[in-house]
Structure 1
Amino acid sequence: MKLKSKLALTGAATMAALFLGLNANAARMDMVDVSNNNGYMSTAEYTSMRNEFGVKAVTVKISEGSTYKDPYAASNIANVQAAGMYINGYHFARYATKAQAIAEADFAGRTAKAVGLPIGAVLATDVESQEANNQYKSTNDRNNAAFMQEIQKFGYRSDIYTSGSWANNKMTIKDKTGWIAAYPYVVSGKNWYSSNHAWQWSSTAKFRISSGGFDVSQLNSDYYTAGQKSKVKPTNKAAVKANNRKANKNIYKPADSAKWVKESKTYTLKTAVKLRTGASTSSNTITILPAGTTVNTDQAIIHGGYRWVRQPRFNGYGYLATGSASNTLEYVKSGATHTYYTVKSGDSWWTIAQRNGLNMATLASQNGKSIYTTIYPGQRLVVR
């Protein structure tokens, strides 16, 4: 989902593994957040998260800025509810002014209603963008307050998601509010941000029947479970315990474990971005690419908490972060990359399905849609 800083792995990992074997205070996998980056998620996947991993709540991406609507929001909401878990939503904030914050809240609220987010659910503002980074703390506080006040008009409860390094630095996060991301080496042994609603402790958690990595959080209050003690009960408590311990032990790996994957893609930058000599925030800056620049890339990687892409240049390569490790830009999963088809004039669900050896329902569902959803020329659909 988001912009978070990760520390480098140290020799403490060995001690951590030994410590975890005895420590009962492992961070819990109470809540998962998902977006278009995770692709289509079935009810079976959510049911597995509940019964085998102890997940109680899921928070799905609803929207971003003033125009983007997550294409999987409706199917995620329906499938989470079918799996019997609490459902919430979040909006990736791009606002820099109070007026923009109110406009984005109106857009997020209308979109949430349209995709079926139930009244009373949390609709959090995910504040980690460059726009917010450029503001004074007082400005971010004013903008966040305006967004959350406006969201309540739609019948939703509000909250702020941000990184630990931004909390009470870039913006104020009061006790008994907030969903904070921070990734320590030794996950167990301390309940981080216990005075806040939730602590997100990983963006790379693995689930048995789902591909890729997921953001997982420990809930420190009942805010994300409808303001009540969770009624969600796993069916396999032994599996929950084992899977939770495994997640705590194995969530962090050396940076060189990441793999580059092919990605021939063109980006148009929304904001100015630093082009670097390597895929790291500590690498030297080649130049600053201004907003509106078109960038052609050939490879992508998830590394150091960010999603990086490589730009071929006349004298080598340049590297830039497209966002956090699970940002709104398409996430390329190692070993699970998708094949896409671009809709042409005259295409229909039936013709595309036939061309790719699928039935219409399968094609539509893996794109978070139904066969009654209108498709348009230029739209990209997952076919593999």
Structure 2
Amino acid sequence: MAALFLGMNASAARMDMVDVSNNNGYMSTAEYTSMRNEFGVKAVTVKISEGSTYKDPYAASNIANVQAAGLYINGYHFARYATKAQAIAEADFAGQTAKAAGLPVGAVLATDVESQEANNQSKATNDRNNAAFMKEIQKFGYRADIYTSGSWANNKMTIKGKTGWIAGYPFVPAGKQWYTNNNAWQWSGSAHFRISYGDFDVSQLYTDYYTAGQKSTVKPINKDAVKANNQGASKNTSNPSTSAKWVKESKTYTLKTAVKLRTGASTSSNVITTLPAGSTVKTDRAIIQGGYRWVRQPRSIGYGYLATGPATNSLEYVKAGASHTYYTVVSGDSWWSIAQRNGLSMYTLASQNGKSIYSEIYPGNQLQIK
């Protein structure tokens, strides 16, 4: 989920809730248990879907493994709607996808409103669309909420008191916590956990909205470790751009909306031009930096840079120095053939991907092979 990360102070807010998506890859029960026992995490909110077609491929395994670790489970849908009809259609798609993935009735299924589509709408239109989504999602037995950034809350859309999951970076303790009138405050987008690779979004909860309606066995085994690790996370969390690396990417994008082409991979870089919707852009490099996923476009003189979306969008996610290697399934593959080519047993291959050897795999699926 997106917001610009600017650094953190030594005193940490609580790490009550973590959100995960396809960007984090496969997450095991052991990782969630470690978050619970060592960092005091109480709830996990997993990405379910985006727009009207994208289903997060890790939603089902995340939901099952979070529950197995004794944590509260919730979900979120990355909103692309610009009209009331689209909001209702996306809610139906998200609700059906959540049901299929095993999200339990009573969980929160929040709408994540931070897209360019929402940015182009008036506050009144966003309020109407969000209300339509939330009313529709409740028909599936889920509780509704809105995730957005602090700069958009009550500016781009209305966030009523005692509702909302608000992202506000950086974490700066100033005698009181931020967004105490809301359900949750996401205070970092680059927290680290001991046995999990990569950066995670973490939030402090002010109400029981994200820990209600479900059973949980959250009992951190070492309260002193929880306190120390929370403080350590704050001290060690830094801007992801300091360690991010450009990786090769030869792709052609067709822009759905107008996008600013900049002189550098930063929202503060000068604008070269604004590319209109429908433009095609050929890229040669990509990077996750400053809360966004950036791509580089070779030009007749130098390069241009544009953000394809927030760091958590559904496009291919770049993990610099990732500790896992993934294989993309092609037609004719089987658990046995993939395992043989990579020196694994098919049981190990299936297990480390949260599946059994009887699970179906399809072309385009990504499997962790090491």
- Equivalent position of 2:186 in the other structure: 200
Match of 1:66 among 52, 59, 67: 52
CA contact (8 A) 1:72 1:369 kept: no
CA contact (8 A) 2:70 2:217 kept: no
Query: C-alpha displacement at 1:357, in angstroms?
Result: 2.0
- Equivalent position of 1:56 in the other structure: 42
Task: Quickly say closer, same or farther: Cα 1:140–1:365, change in 2 above 3 A.
Answer: farther
- Equivalent position of 1:4 in the other structure: 3
- Equivalent position of 2:69 in the other structure: 83
* Partner Cα distance (2:328, 2:247) in 1: 18
Asked if residue 285 in structure 1 is aligned to residue 285 in structure 2, the reply is no
Bigger mean CA deviation after superposition, 328-337 or 162-171: 328-337
CA contact (8 A) 1:65 1:94 kept: yes
Query: C-alpha displacement at 1:146, in angstroms?
Result: 0.4
SS state at 2:52 partner: coil
CA contact (8 A) 1:57 1:225 kept: yes
Q: C-alpha deviations, 1:102-131, integer Å up to 9, x for none?
A: 000000000100010000000000000000
Query: C-alpha displacement at 1:286, in angstroms?
Result: 2.4
Within 5 Å, give how 1:238-253 maps onto structure 2.
238-253=224-239
* Partner Cα distance (1:342, 1:229) in 2: 36
- Equivalent position of 1:309 in the other structure: 295
Task: Quickly say closer, same or farther: Cα 1:233–1:376, change in 2 above 3 A.
Answer: closer
Query: C-alpha displacement at 1:379, in angstroms?
Result: 4.6
Query: C-alpha displacement at 1:195, in angstroms?
Result: 0.8
CA contact (8 A) 1:222 1:228 kept: no
* Partner Cα distance (2:347, 2:258) in 1: 41
CA contact (8 A) 1:300 1:310 kept: yes
- Equivalent position of 1:274 in the other structure: 260
- Equivalent position of 1:134 in the other structure: 120
Q: TM-score, normalised by structure 2?
A: 0.92
What are structure 1's unaligned runs of at least 5 residues?
A: 21-25
Asked if residue 261 in structure 1 is aligned to residue 260 in structure 2, the reply is no
Query: C-alpha displacement at 1:294, in angstroms?
Result: 4.3
- Equivalent position of 1:23 in the other structure: none
Match of 1:154 among 132, 135, 140: 140
* Partner Cα distance (1:373, 1:105) in 2: 28
* Partner Cα distance (1:128, 1:97) in 2: 15
Query: C-alpha displacement at 1:369, in angstroms?
Result: 4.6
- Equivalent position of 2:159 in the other structure: 173
* Partner Cα distance (1:159, 1:210) in 2: 28
Task: Quickly say closer, same or farther: Cα 1:85–1:281, change in 2 above 3 A.
Answer: same
CA contact (8 A) 1:32 1:57 kept: yes
Task: Quickly say closer, same or farther: Cα 1:376–1:179, change in 2 above 3 A.
Answer: same
Query: C-alpha displacement at 1:368, in angstroms?
Result: 5.2
SS state at 2:82 partner: coil
Query: C-alpha displacement at 1:353, in angstroms?
Result: 1.9
Asked if residue 354 in structure 1 is aligned to residue 353 in structure 2, the reply is no
CA contact (8 A) 1:300 1:307 kept: yes
* Partner Cα distance (1:118, 1:41) in 2: 19
CA contact (8 A) 1:56 1:232 kept: yes
What is the CA RMSD across the aligned residues, in angstroms? Answer: 2.3
CA contact (8 A) 1:264 1:296 kept: no
- Percent identical pairs in the alignment equals 78
* Partner Cα distance (2:231, 2:34) in 1: 17
Task: Quickly say closer, same or farther: Cα 1:184–1:347, change in 2 above 3 A.
Answer: closer
* Partner Cα distance (2:332, 2:214) in 1: 50
CA contact (8 A) 1:71 1:368 kept: no
* Partner Cα distance (1:47, 1:314) in 2: 52
SS state at 2:272 partner: strand
